[in-house]
Structure 1
């Protein structure tokens, strides 16, 4: 089902349209939310966030007389925004209290500088992968983060597996150039 058919279905038969939208974009939305929250939130928080994404989308569809624009990009934007909201909510409620009596025993074996550098490097990599645009960023994340095959990725991004392999190869070269321009050299 292409985007125009899906838009039409959402307007003419909202229940079926919403179900089709959910089925088509669930993996995509889950990937975005999971990538943003995996280190910070519990699995149930991630699942709740994904549900919030679709609830927001469906509420938006109900309000609109006509749905314009790319539905995939819309779903991605809502997913990113809801993930940020969930991150803020989760980080606000985490307990960070330390008893004054325990401070003597608190010695971190973690190298703070190395840890900060790793976090910064991961953020840079994520930003540069995002700059690749769709579907290249999804292909790279699915291949190298989730370890999915070209055939599995092809189903997610709705391309042929040969096309996925070609796009992946080009995306890796482009990503390498973007990282070099950002001053990342290894």
Structure 2
């Protein structure tokens, strides 16, 4: 049966037309849906999606005179869209764990240690800022961003030799500042 004959049958005798459409395109629709959902959804989800595809097609056929273009392409488009919708629904629901079943979830992160390190970084940054400009910029660019003396020289508008000398003195001053602030590392 051609697509034109099938569309005519869908209009003239909807029940026979739907049966003929289902018989002709079932394997095609199932293949498309299964290919999209096989890794994430259950067989029941695949079957439900296939049913939704045919329901969507039948609703469209009831409202329209004819499908413009290729009936097979139209069916494939509906199947892909429904499979994507089902995929999203399954993903959304599978990532939700009922609170009673969740138990205690561990992240593997030592929160106390992370908080302490974060506080240490902030204090270190504050002490580097106490060096003043351009020394704080030189230290940050060299040790935090790994830039060379030449790159830093372009940023602070000094010569490379001057940047190296200032960096060396700034590190010594920073060490003294940190020791006086109680840092022992």
User: In structure 2, what is the equivalent of residue 95 of structure 1?
Assistant: 95
> Relative to structure 1, is the Cα distance of residues 99 and 26 closer, same or farther in structure 2, using a 3 angstrom cutoff?
same
* Residue ranges of structure 2 left out of the alignment (5+ in a row): 109-185
1:5 to partner: Cα distance: 0.7
1:68 to partner: Cα distance: 2.4
| TM-score normalised by L of structure 1 | 0.53
Counterparts of residues 40-59 of structure 1 (less than 5 Å): 40-59=40-59
User: In structure 2, what is the equivalent of residue 9 of structure 1?
Assistant: 9
- Deviation beyond 3 Å, 4+ runs, structure 1: 95-104
| TM-score normalised by L of structure 2 | 0.53
Aligned CA RMSD, in angstroms, stands at: 1.6
Distance 1:90 1:49 in 2: 11
The alignment status of 1:77 with 2:93, answered yes or no, reads: no
Residue deviations 1:34-86, cap 9 Å, x none? 00000010100000000000000000000012332111001100000000000
> Relative to structure 1, is the Cα distance of residues 91 and 14 closer, same or farther in structure 2, using a 3 angstrom cutoff?
same
Distance 1:8 1:68 in 2: 13
Distance 2:29 2:92 in 1: 24
Distance 1:38 1:22 in 2: 22
Question: How many residue pairs are counted as aligned between the two chains?
Answer: 104
* Residue ranges of structure 1 left out of the alignment (5+ in a row): 105-186
Residue deviations 1:106-137, cap 9 Å, x none? xxxxxxxxxxxxxxxxxxxxxxxxxxxxxxxx
Distance 1:35 1:64 in 2: 29
SS of 1:85's equivalent in the other structure is helix
SS of 2:41's equivalent in the other structure is coil
